[in-house]
Amino acid sequence: MNKKVYKFLFFAVLAASVTVLSGCRSKKPSTDMYGSDNLYGGDIIDGDIQLNPDNMGLPMDGDRSMFAPVMFAYDSSQVNPEEAGKVEAVAKYLNKNKSGGVIVEGHGDERGSREYNLALGERRALSVRDYLISLGVDPSVIQTKSLGEEMPADMGHDEGAWRQNRRGVFAIY
Protein backbone atom coordinates (compact mmCIF):
# COMPACT_ATOMS: atom_id res chain seq x y z
CA MET A 1 0.00 0.00 0.00
CA ASN A 2 1.13 3.46 -0.64
CA LYS A 3 1.26 6.53 1.61
CA LYS A 4 -2.10 7.93 0.51
CA VAL A 5 -3.96 4.75 1.48
CA TYR A 6 -2.34 4.69 4.97
CA LYS A 7 -3.18 8.34 5.45
CA PHE A 8 -6.79 7.73 4.39
CA LEU A 9 -7.12 4.73 6.73
CA PHE A 10 -5.62 6.68 9.64
CA PHE A 11 -8.13 9.53 9.25
CA ALA A 12 -11.03 7.12 8.75
CA VAL A 13 -10.18 5.28 11.99
CA LEU A 14 -9.73 8.60 13.79
CA ALA A 15 -13.11 9.89 12.57
CA ALA A 16 -14.84 6.64 13.53
CA SER A 17 -13.28 6.77 17.01
CA VAL A 18 -14.40 10.34 17.59
CA THR A 19 -17.92 9.48 16.42
CA VAL A 20 -18.17 6.44 18.71
CA LEU A 21 -16.70 8.21 21.74
CA SER A 22 -18.92 11.28 21.39
CA GLY A 23 -21.97 9.01 21.42
CA CYS A 24 -20.84 7.42 24.72
CA ARG A 25 -20.86 10.61 26.72
CA SER A 26 -22.75 10.33 30.01
CA LYS A 27 -25.93 12.35 30.38
CA LYS A 28 -25.64 12.28 34.19
CA PRO A 29 -25.15 15.75 35.72
CA SER A 30 -21.80 16.50 37.28
CA THR A 31 -21.57 15.98 41.01
CA ASP A 32 -19.49 17.44 43.79
CA MET A 33 -17.16 15.46 46.03
CA TYR A 34 -20.11 14.33 48.20
CA GLY A 35 -22.04 12.74 45.33
CA SER A 36 -24.55 15.57 45.15
CA ASP A 37 -25.22 17.80 42.18
CA ASN A 38 -25.44 20.71 44.62
CA LEU A 39 -22.31 22.79 44.13
CA TYR A 40 -22.66 24.47 47.55
CA GLY A 41 -21.54 21.35 49.43
CA GLY A 42 -24.73 20.65 51.37
CA ASP A 43 -28.31 19.74 50.65
CA ILE A 44 -30.88 22.43 50.05
CA ILE A 45 -32.87 22.72 53.24
CA ASP A 46 -36.67 22.76 53.07
CA GLY A 47 -38.82 24.46 55.65
CA ASP A 48 -40.03 27.87 56.62
CA ILE A 49 -36.64 29.56 56.23
CA GLN A 50 -36.78 32.54 53.90
CA LEU A 51 -34.83 31.52 50.81
CA ASN A 52 -33.09 33.74 48.33
CA PRO A 53 -34.30 32.77 44.82
CA ASP A 54 -31.20 34.33 43.24
CA ASN A 55 -28.86 32.13 45.29
CA MET A 56 -29.96 28.58 44.44
CA GLY A 57 -32.20 28.12 47.49
CA LEU A 58 -29.72 29.16 50.18
CA PRO A 59 -31.14 31.10 53.11
CA MET A 60 -30.81 34.83 52.60
CA ASP A 61 -28.72 35.40 55.67
CA GLY A 62 -27.82 34.18 59.10
CA ASP A 63 -26.54 35.39 62.45
CA ARG A 64 -22.75 35.68 62.25
CA SER A 65 -22.37 36.96 65.82
CA MET A 66 -23.15 33.72 67.65
CA PHE A 67 -19.78 32.02 67.10
CA ALA A 68 -16.23 33.20 66.55
CA PRO A 69 -14.79 32.56 63.08
CA VAL A 70 -12.29 29.78 62.49
CA MET A 71 -8.94 31.27 61.53
CA PHE A 72 -6.65 29.59 58.98
CA ALA A 73 -2.94 29.63 58.32
CA TYR A 74 -1.61 31.20 55.13
CA ASP A 75 -2.53 29.16 52.01
CA SER A 76 -4.15 26.44 54.16
CA SER A 77 -7.61 24.95 54.42
CA GLN A 78 -6.79 22.68 57.36
CA VAL A 79 -8.61 23.40 60.63
CA ASN A 80 -5.82 23.98 63.16
CA PRO A 81 -6.09 22.20 66.54
CA GLU A 82 -6.17 25.63 68.23
CA GLU A 83 -9.32 26.48 66.24
CA ALA A 84 -11.08 23.12 66.62
CA GLY A 85 -12.96 24.24 69.74
CA LYS A 86 -14.80 26.86 67.68
CA VAL A 87 -16.09 24.22 65.28
CA GLU A 88 -16.97 21.92 68.17
CA ALA A 89 -19.06 24.68 69.79
CA VAL A 90 -21.04 25.11 66.56
CA ALA A 91 -21.50 21.33 66.27
CA LYS A 92 -22.81 21.16 69.85
CA TYR A 93 -25.28 23.96 69.10
CA LEU A 94 -26.50 22.38 65.83
CA ASN A 95 -26.83 18.92 67.38
CA LYS A 96 -28.93 20.42 70.20
CA ASN A 97 -31.04 22.79 68.03
CA LYS A 98 -32.30 20.51 65.27
CA SER A 99 -34.48 23.18 63.62
CA GLY A 100 -31.54 25.41 62.66
CA GLY A 101 -28.71 25.26 60.21
CA VAL A 102 -25.50 26.99 59.24
CA ILE A 103 -23.86 28.51 56.21
CA VAL A 104 -20.08 28.16 56.48
CA GLU A 105 -18.51 31.05 54.59
CA GLY A 106 -14.90 30.59 53.48
CA HIS A 107 -12.72 33.71 53.16
CA GLY A 108 -9.18 34.48 52.05
CA ASP A 109 -6.83 37.43 52.19
CA GLU A 110 -6.09 39.72 49.26
CA ARG A 111 -2.94 37.94 48.13
CA GLY A 112 -3.34 35.74 45.08
CA SER A 113 -5.80 35.97 42.21
CA ARG A 114 -9.53 36.30 42.69
CA GLU A 115 -10.07 32.80 41.28
CA TYR A 116 -7.44 31.29 43.56
CA ASN A 117 -8.96 32.95 46.64
CA LEU A 118 -12.46 31.78 45.73
CA ALA A 119 -11.17 28.22 45.41
CA LEU A 120 -9.26 28.51 48.70
CA GLY A 121 -12.35 29.92 50.43
CA GLU A 122 -14.34 26.96 49.13
CA ARG A 123 -11.75 24.49 50.43
CA ARG A 124 -11.81 26.21 53.83
CA ALA A 125 -15.61 26.09 54.03
CA LEU A 126 -15.65 22.43 52.98
CA SER A 127 -12.96 21.59 55.54
CA VAL A 128 -15.08 23.11 58.32
CA ARG A 129 -18.16 21.31 56.92
CA ASP A 130 -16.33 17.98 56.99
CA TYR A 131 -15.29 18.58 60.59
CA LEU A 132 -18.88 19.43 61.58
CA ILE A 133 -20.10 16.23 59.94
CA SER A 134 -17.43 14.20 61.75
CA LEU A 135 -18.87 15.64 65.00
CA GLY A 136 -22.33 14.27 64.19
CA VAL A 137 -23.97 17.28 62.53
CA ASP A 138 -26.54 16.33 59.88
CA PRO A 139 -25.04 17.26 56.48
CA SER A 140 -28.41 18.57 55.27
CA VAL A 141 -28.24 21.52 57.70
CA ILE A 142 -24.80 22.68 56.53
CA GLN A 143 -24.34 24.91 53.51
CA THR A 144 -21.01 26.23 52.25
CA LYS A 145 -20.17 29.37 50.38
CA SER A 146 -16.89 30.92 49.28
CA LEU A 147 -16.45 34.67 49.37
CA GLY A 148 -12.73 34.56 48.59
CA GLU A 149 -11.15 37.95 49.19
CA GLU A 150 -14.37 39.85 48.49
CA MET A 151 -15.46 40.61 52.08
CA PRO A 152 -12.40 41.29 54.23
CA ALA A 153 -12.78 41.58 58.00
CA ASP A 154 -9.84 44.01 58.03
CA MET A 155 -9.17 46.37 55.13
CA GLY A 156 -5.45 46.67 55.90
CA HIS A 157 -2.61 45.48 53.69
CA ASP A 158 -0.29 43.83 56.20
CA GLU A 159 0.11 40.48 57.94
CA GLY A 160 -2.17 41.49 60.81
CA ALA A 161 -5.01 42.28 58.42
CA TRP A 162 -4.39 39.22 56.27
CA ARG A 163 -4.47 37.00 59.37
CA GLN A 164 -7.97 38.33 60.21
CA ASN A 165 -9.19 37.75 56.66
CA ARG A 166 -8.19 34.07 56.44
CA ARG A 167 -11.29 32.67 58.10
CA GLY A 168 -14.39 30.54 58.06
CA VAL A 169 -17.50 32.34 59.32
CA PHE A 170 -20.60 30.64 60.74
CA ALA A 171 -23.93 32.20 59.65
CA ILE A 172 -26.52 30.49 61.88
CA TYR A 173 -30.16 30.45 60.80
The pLDDT of residue 39: 39
Q: Is the pLDDT of residue 158 over 80?
A: yes
| Neighbour order of strands in the sheet with 102-107 | 70-71, 167-172, 102-107, 142-148
- pTM score, whole prediction: 0.67
Q: Is the pLDDT of residue 50 over 90?
A: no
Domains of the chain: 33-172 (3.30.1330.60)
Cβ contacts of residue 121 below 8 Å, gap of 6+?
Answer: 105, 106, 107, 108, 146, 147, 148
The pLDDT of residue 117: 97
Q: What is the pLDDT of residues 9-45, one digit of tens each?
A: 666 665 666 555 555 544 444 444 334 344 344 443 3
Q: What is the pLDDT of residues 54-108, one digit of tens each?
A: 444 555 578 899 999 999 999 999 999 999 999 999 999 999 998 889 999 999 9
The pLDDT of residue 11: 62
Q: Is the pLDDT of residue 52 over 80?
A: no
